[in-house]
Amino acid sequence: MAEFLAYLIAGLATGAIYALAAIGFTLVWQTSQTINFAQGEFVMLPAILILAAVKLAGLPVWAAAILGIAAFIALFGWGFKLVIVDPMIRHGVLPLAIATMALSIIMKEGAKDGFSAEAQRFPSLVPQETVSFLGISISLQHIAIIIVACLAIGALQWFVTRTKTGRQMQASAQNPNVALILGIPVAQMVMLTFLINAALAALASILISPIYLAKFSNGEVIGLFAFIAAIVGGFNQVRGALAGGLIVGVIDSLAAAYISTSYRLAVPLVLLVVIILIKPEGLFGRKEERGV
Amino acid sequence: MKQSILMLGIATAAALALPAAAQEKIKLVNVVELSGAGATAGTNWKNGIDLAVADINARGGILGRQIEIVHYDTQTNPGNTRAAVQRAIDEGTYAVLGPVFSGPIGASMQIAQRAEIAQIVGGEAAGLTRQGNQYLFRTSLSQSAAMPKIAAYLKNTVKASSVTVVWVNNDFGKGGRDAILPELQKAGIRVAADISTEQGQADFAADAIKVKNANADAVFVYLNEEESARFLRAAKQQGVDKPMVGETTLLGAKVIELAGDAANGVRGHVGLSIDAPVPAFQEFGRKFQARFNYASDHNGLKGYMAVAMVKWATEKQKKFDRKGLADTLRGATITPAEEPGIMITTKIEANGDLDRESFLAEVENGKQIIKATLPMINP
C-alpha cells in the first residue's frame, strides 16, 4: 500500500504539470476553436529564457525569473495572439493549427540553436528533501508542485466563475457576437485568455524544469501528455483539464511501475482511444454542436 | 618601378600558392550527436576533437599538412548517422570520427568498413567489436573490460551482496546490462531488481521508487549522461540512501553538474577523467576549461585521443593511406612518448578494443575524486 501511495503522489505531481499545460489547450480552444500544437514548447521555453538571462546577461536568478517570465508572457501571450492567431484565424482554424505546428518547431529549434542543445540544471524553489508520511517518503518538490498547481488552477477557476471579468471571459468564449452586443470588450477578454495561458505555461515550466532539467526537447513529452489530458478531461472545461492531467499523470506513473517503462507512453494513448470511443466530449466536457 | 614589379611578383606567387596550401589540408569528418539525447556526450567529444586539431595544427599538422575538421550533427538518429558517414566518405574524409552512442555506431559502422576507412568511435557497447569489423576502433574501454572491474568493486569495496541494476534500453544500456549480470553472478551478488528505462526519459520518479523498494545493498546505474542526472535527482527526492555505483558516465563532469547535490556519494569505475592522477589528463582539463569555459567529461578526452590516434598512425606509416591507417592502428600500442596526444599508454586489440589503466572514483562535494588506479588487463 505504501508503495502504491508513493507512485500515486509522484503521478499526481507530474499530472499537475500536465493539467497546467492542458488548461492552455482548453483556453485556446474556447477562444479560437483551435488547437495550439506549440503548447508543450510554451512550457519548455520560459525555463530556457530564465537560464539565458542568468548565463548570457549575468542576472541573479530572481531577476532573471521576473525578466524571463515577463518576456515570455509578452511574446507568447500578447505576441502570439497578435502575430499568429489574429491574422490566421480569419482563414479558418486549420491554417491556425498548422501555424502553431510551425511555431512549435521554431521555438524548439530556436531554443536549441540560440541557447543550448544540452540539458541544463534549473534551480528549484524547494529543497530536494523528503518528508515521511504514513511510512512513505514524499518528495518536497512533488508536494510543492501539487500545491502550487492546484492553487493556481483553483485561483483561475475562482477568477473565471466568481469575478465580473471572468464571467465576461466566459461569455466571450461561448458566444462572442452576443457578448459584443452586451457591451463586453471581447477582444480584451480574448487577449486576457492568451495572457493567462502564457502565465500558466511559465508556472508549469518553473515547477517541472528542476526535475526534467531545462532542455529544448522537453515540450514534446509535456505537449503530448497535456493534449491527451485535455481530451480525456474535456477540451472545453478547465476542471476537465485539471482532472485529465491528474488522471494521465497517475496512469503514467502506475504504468511505469507496474507494467513497463517501455509501454508507459502507450497506456495514456490507450486511455485516449477508450475515452474517444465511449465519451468523445471527455469525462467532464460538454457536448458542442456545430452547424456546417 | 622595380619595387612594383617585385610586389606584383610576390602577390602573384602568393595567389598561386594559396590553392596549393588549401590542397595540403587533410580532411577529417566528425559524425556526432550534437543534438537529441546524445547532445551532452557528442558536444564534449566534438570539443575534444577541436582542441586536438588546434594543438596539432599549431605544431605543424600531420606530416606537414594541416587538419581540416568538419562536424556533422546526427541528432542522435541512426538513420542520420548512416547518411552522415556516407557523406563523409563521399567527401573524401581521411578517417571517420564518431559517433559516440553505440546504437548509431552499430547502424553506421558497415559503411566505413565497406569503404575500408578507419572509424574511430566513442561507444562502449561490448557487441560493437564482436562483429569482425577491422576498421572500427574505440577510444574507451569496452563494457566487457569495464564490468568485471565494477563487479569486483561492488563485492570487495562496497561489500554488496545484492544489487539493483538500472539501465537504459538502448544499445549502450543493453550491452552494459548483459555484461554486468554474469559478472555479478560470478561474484556471488544477487540482482534484487532489474529496472529498464528509456533513452530520453524525463521522469524517473517511478524508477526511483522501485529502486527504493528493492532495498538492495547497492544500486548499479548504467544510463546516458542526462538520464543519469535525472535519475540521481529523482533517487534523492525519493530518499534512496544506498550506494550508487556506476561506470564512467555516472561520474562524468556533466552528470555531476546537472545532478548537483544528488551526485555526492556516487562512486564507481571511470575509464578516463580529467581528475585522474595523470598529468596529461589534468593539462587537457585545464586547456579544455580555458577554451570552452566548462569542465570536460570523459568524452572530451576520447575526442582528443581519436585525433591523436590518427596522427600517430599516419606518422607511423609515413603517408596518408586510408586503409593503411586502419592496418597500422590494429594491434598497436601507443605511448605518450611516441604521441603526446594519446596521454596514457593505450593498447589497441586486434578487434578494435582498448586496454589501458583505469580508475576508481567517488563524487565528493560536487567533485570527482580518484581513489585508486587499476592496471591494464593485459599489459
Instruction: Give me the pLDDT at residue A236, please.
Output: 81
Question: Is residue A128 a contact partner of residue B237, using CB atoms and an 8 Å limit?
Answer: yes
Tell me how far apart the alpha carbons of residues B206 and B350 are, in angstroms, rounded to a whole number.
43
Residue A38 located in a structural domain? yes
Instruction: Give me the pLDDT at residue A126, please.
Output: 87
In a shared domain, residues B323 and B192: no
User: Residue B237: closest CA among chain A residues belongs to which residue?
Assistant: A139
Question: Is residue A195 a contact partner of residue A169, using CB atoms and an 8 Å limit?
Answer: no
In a shared domain, residues B150 and B136: no
In a shared domain, residues B149 and B125: no
Residue B3 located in a structural domain? no
In a shared domain, residues B70 and B152: no
Residue A240 located in a structural domain? yes
Tell me how far apart the alpha carbons of residues A10 and B208 are, in angstroms, rounded to a whole number.
10
Say how many domains are in chain B.
2
* pTM, two decimal places: 0.86
Strand-pairing partners, residue B109, are none
Contacts of B254 in chain A (CB under 8 A): 118
* Residue B9 scores a pLDDT above 90: no
Grid cell for residue B247? 561506470
Question: Is residue B60 a contact partner of residue B52, using CB atoms and an 8 Å limit?
Answer: no
Q: How far is CA A197 from the centre of its chain?
A: 8
In a shared domain, residues B252 and B152: yes
* Residue B10 scores a pLDDT above 80: no
What is the DSSP secondary-structure string of A101-131? HHHHHHHHHHHHHHT-SS-B----SS-S-EE
* Residue B8 scores a pLDDT above 70: no
Task: Decide: residue A277, CB within 10 A, 0-12 exposed, 13-18 middle, 19+ buried.
Answer: exposed
Quick check: B207 contacting A, CB < 8 Å? yes
B43–A118 C-beta distance less than 8 A: yes
Question: Which tens digits make up the pLDDT trace of A216-262?
Answer: 999 999 999 999 999 999 988 888 999 999 999 999 999 999 988 88
Residue A34 located in a structural domain? yes
Residue in this structure with the C-alpha cell 487577449, named with its chain if needed: A191
In a shared domain, residues B149 and B240: yes
Domain that holds residue A6: 2-278
Contacts of A224 in chain B (CB under 8 A): none
Regarding an ipTM greater than 0.90, the answer is: no
Residue B247 located in a structural domain? yes
Question: Which tens digits make up the pLDDT trace of B61-78?
Answer: 999 999 999 999 999 999
CATH of the domain at A189: 1.10.3470
* Residue A291 scores a pLDDT above 80: no
Q: Which member of A211, A257, A262 has the closest CB to residue B206?
A: A257
Question: Which tens digits make up the pLDDT trace of B172-191?
Answer: 999 999 999 999 999 999 99
Tell me how far apart the alpha carbons of residues B328 and B307 are, in angstroms, rounded to a whole number.
14
| Mean pLDDT in residue range B303-310 | 98
Residues of A at the B interface, defined by Cβ within 8 angstroms: 3, 6-7, 10, 13-14, 112, 117-121, 128, 130, 137, 139-142, 210-213, 215, 217-218, 221, 252-254, 256-257, 260-262
Residue A91 located in a structural domain? yes
| Mean pLDDT in residue range B215-225 | 95
Residue A76 located in a structural domain? yes
Instruction: Give me the pLDDT at residue B74, please.
Output: 96
Question: Which tens digits make up the pLDDT trace of A70-85?
Answer: 999 999 999 999 999 8
Residue A292 located in a structural domain? no
| Mean pLDDT in residue range A124-133 | 85
- Chains A and B form CB pairs within 8 A to the count of 97
Instruction: Give me the pLDDT at residue B1, please.
Output: 45
Question: Which tens digits make up the pLDDT trace of B76-123?
Answer: 999 999 999 999 999 999 999 999 999 999 999 999 999 999 999 999
CATH of the domain at B238: 3.40.50.2300
Q: Which member of A7, A141, A213 has the closest CB to residue B237?
A: A141
Question: Which tens digits make up the pLDDT trace of B338-373?
Answer: 999 999 999 999 999 999 999 999 999 999 999 999
* Residue B21 scores a pLDDT above 80: no
Q: Identify the band that residue B3 occupies on the pLDDT scale cut at 50, 70 and 90.
A: low
For B27, the 3-state DSSP assignment is strand
Say how many domains are in chain A.
1
Q: Identify the band that residue B19 occupies on the pLDDT scale cut at 50, 70 and 90.
A: very low
Instruction: Give me the pLDDT at residue A238, please.
Output: 86
Instruction: Give me the pLDDT at residue B357, please.
Output: 95
Residue B320 located in a structural domain? yes
In a shared domain, residues B202 and B340: no
* Residue A49 scores a pLDDT above 80: yes
Residue A27 located in a structural domain? yes
Average pLDDT along chain B = 92
In a shared domain, residues B257 and B217: yes
Residue A117 located in a structural domain? yes
Question: Is residue B123 a contact partner of residue B172, using CB atoms and an 8 Å limit?
Answer: yes
Residue B327 located in a structural domain? yes
Contacts of B258 in chain A (CB under 8 A): 119-121, 213
In a shared domain, residues B368 and B223: yes
User: Residue B63's closest CA among B329, B313, B314, B335?
Assistant: B314
Domain that holds residue B161: 144-270+359-374
